[in-house]
Structure 1
Amino acid sequence: MPGDHGSIGPPVRYRSADEDSARWLDFAFRPGDIVISTRSKSGTTWMQMICALLVFRTPELPAPLTELSPWVDWLVEPADGMFARLEAQPHRRFVKTHTPLDGVVLDPRATYVVVARHPLDMAVSLYHQGANIDHDRLRELTGQAAPEPSTVASPEAHRSPQPPQPPRPRPPLREWLLSWAASRADPREEMDSLPGVLWHLSDAWARRDQPNVVLVHYDDLSADLEGQMRRLANVLGIEVPEPTWPALVRAATFDHMRARADELAPNPAGVLKDNAAFFRRGRSGSGREVLGEEEWARYRARTQAMVPADLWGWLHREPATA
């Protein structure tokens, strides 16, 4: 695993094809900053919207959500321009990261909000999200080379390159999910793998008693959105006039966010093929439905060996001994 939870020292560096957590070293914190730290498809945009509604106290945001709340680690956006925009913001700032807290600079003036989701539900959403990403556009923006054209293995191959072959179709969801659940990837290299997801949440869980670290469960947002928004407002010290609450809660519902997809989807560079498809379903339980009982038992045994029992029970919403 990347490092000891809560250890003092430089942040762990996490990198992927389009992310580099080293950009946090250049982030100039100021009092009141809010850092939203999640894994992909775990409620990131939802929490960004909630923070926006609490900060501005109105559903009418002054700019698109991605401009108000940039993804600090994302290599698609040049760092200088992003940091200049953040520096110019006069309001309380709230930014996004997919980096675990041990890879982010921890500043006592900031509040760190970590959103957790049942890993299997997160993975199902990630699977569907993969079909909505324009991978050629993403490679272009991050300076990655295009895939090499395929050639036929024959004596003439060196003289007669063949046209690029279409990408292989993705495996069916169940096959993909079982492979994902069996992954033993390094969390620093594949943050959206099962080990990466559980490391991210284990690290946050170990810090949950720190006064500026807040854990939120996706299922709690689904079950009691207003209660969770009020809880977060209290933690952040934000006072919302009572008559304003209904409009704010309504604006944070899944249906209302999907209706505003062009304004809220994280797509400033045109990486998503369809903004509305980003808000696909948003429900819980879809991952568990895919697995049979034996497959669920294997998943449960493996994940219980990877995280503390109390975290496992909180994350999966059932006793760890079940």
Structure 2
Amino acid sequence: MAALRRYQTVVSDSALWEGFPFRSGDVVLSPPAKCGTTWMQMLCALLIFDDTEFGRPLTEISPWFDATTYDTAATLAMLESQQHRRFIKTHTPLDGLPFHEDVTYICVGRDPRDVMLSFENATANIHPDAIPAGGLDPEVAQPPAPEPIDRFWLWADSDLVNDTTSFGVTLANLVNHVRTFWERRDEPQVALFHYADLKADLPGELRRLARVLSIEISDERITELAAAATFDHMRGRADELAPGVDHKLWRSNENFFRSGTSGQWRGLLDSAALDRYHRRVAELAPPDLAEWLHRP
């Protein structure tokens, strides 16, 4: 078995997965940041519990296992105590995760330009008290340039970032993450979803997820459960569903679900900027993956 690639950021370390005691049927949810992780956690919870009420915060049911901002031993004990089918959050690419034939690995892709803008909104919403001990470099905790277009190019032109001084959110990191799933998407335990498809046909994608998880469910029940996972409905339950509510991570839990829309980048990038952006994408992704990521 090939050695796992180690991924580190200011808030996570994939080395924590080594020796993890998997169970048959476990689900590992591994989208890049701001690509719909919480949305996919919600969809898994709806299917696994066949209920819209969970009785405790989603972040406790589906913890971010390799987050260094949590007590790993406590997270592991909580997972070991769970009697239901486990679905575990991470932002580690597939080549950094132990791979087991009886575990399902799910990734969600999104138009990278929307990811960049969503991440900016998220960082502006982080509560000052939630900054990790020792603080962050000011260029990590705050926008690194005064103009939005300058910040966009810093994000787009940065190479792979794999260290403990940043959040690791760059175009190169996003493409690398999705590519590790893209290259294994035909394997039965690997599933790749797209944010745009979730927006366009949430019941259909929930039905597809049920098939991935081998869960039998009626079309009528799919419709009922999907209604609980619309963006507006989740925003209304932000205190239960937003990540990090147990750590008081956000200034506003509702603002974590700020808009969920796509295409806001159109107000930022003119035709020349788009040409430059697509040249950069071509350096990072094969044409089929680039086309898939940017699907309307």
- The TM-score, its normalising length taken from structure 1, stands at 0.85
Distance, in Å, in 2 between the alignment partners of 1:245 and 1:310 is 31
Q: Is 1:277 aligned to 2:270, yes or no?
A: no
Deviation at 1:187, TM superposition (A): 4.8
Distance, in Å, in 1 between the alignment partners of 2:95 and 2:240 is 31
Change (3 A) 1:216 1:309: same
Deviation at 1:60, TM superposition (A): 1.0
Change (3 A) 1:115 1:270: same
Deviations 1:266-309 (A, max 9, x none): 02211211100000110111124311111110110111121111
Deviation at 1:224, TM superposition (A): 0.5
Distance, in Å, in 2 between the alignment partners of 1:225 and 1:292 is 31
Distance, in Å, in 2 between the alignment partners of 1:19 and 1:121 is 23
Which residue number in structure 1 is paired with residue 173 of structure 2? Answer: 196
Q: Is 1:264 aligned to 2:241, yes or no?
A: yes
Structure 1: stretches of 5+ with no match in the other structure? 1-7, 149-166
Which residue number in structure 2 is paired with residue 161 of structure 1? Answer: none
Distance, in Å, in 1 between the alignment partners of 2:273 and 2:253 is 33
Aligned letter for 1:111?
Answer: T
Deviation at 1:192, TM superposition (A): 1.1
Distance, in Å, in 2 between the alignment partners of 1:265 and 1:113 is 19
Structure 2: stretches of 5+ with no match in the other structure? none
- How many residue pairs align between the two structures? 290
Aligned letter for 2:216?
Answer: E
Aligned letter for 2:248?
Answer: G
Which residue number in structure 2 is paired with residue 127 of structure 1? Answer: 120
Deviation at 1:101, TM superposition (A): 0.6
Given the alignment, which residue of 74, 80, 90 partners 1:97? 90
- Please give the residue correspondences for 1:102-113 in structure 2 after superposition, counting only pairs within 5 Å: 102-113=95-106
Which residue number in structure 1 is paired with residue 53 of structure 2? Answer: 60
Secondary structure of the corresponding residue to residue 187 of structure 2 = coil
8 Å Cα contact 2:144/2:151 also seen in 1 = no
8 Å Cα contact 1:18/1:75 also seen in 2 = yes
Change (3 A) 1:219 1:145: closer
Aligned letter for 1:251?
Answer: A
Secondary structure of the corresponding residue to residue 85 of structure 1 = helix
8 Å Cα contact 2:155/2:169 also seen in 1 = no
Matched-pair identity in %: 44
8 Å Cα contact 1:58/1:247 also seen in 2 = no
Deviation at 1:131, TM superposition (A): 0.6
Aligned letter for 1:281?
Answer: S
Deviation at 1:147, TM superposition (A): 7.2
Moved beyond 4 Å, runs of 4+: 145-148, 167-170, 187-190
Deviation at 1:136, TM superposition (A): 4.1
Which residue number in structure 2 is paired with residue 235 of structure 1? Answer: 212
8 Å Cα contact 2:43/2:206 also seen in 1 = yes
Secondary structure of the corresponding residue to residue 30 of structure 2 = strand
Deviations 1:62-105 (A, max 9, x none): 32100000001111111111011101111010011011011111
- The TM-score, its normalising length taken from structure 2, stands at 0.92
Distance, in Å, in 1 between the alignment partners of 2:259 and 2:163 is 29
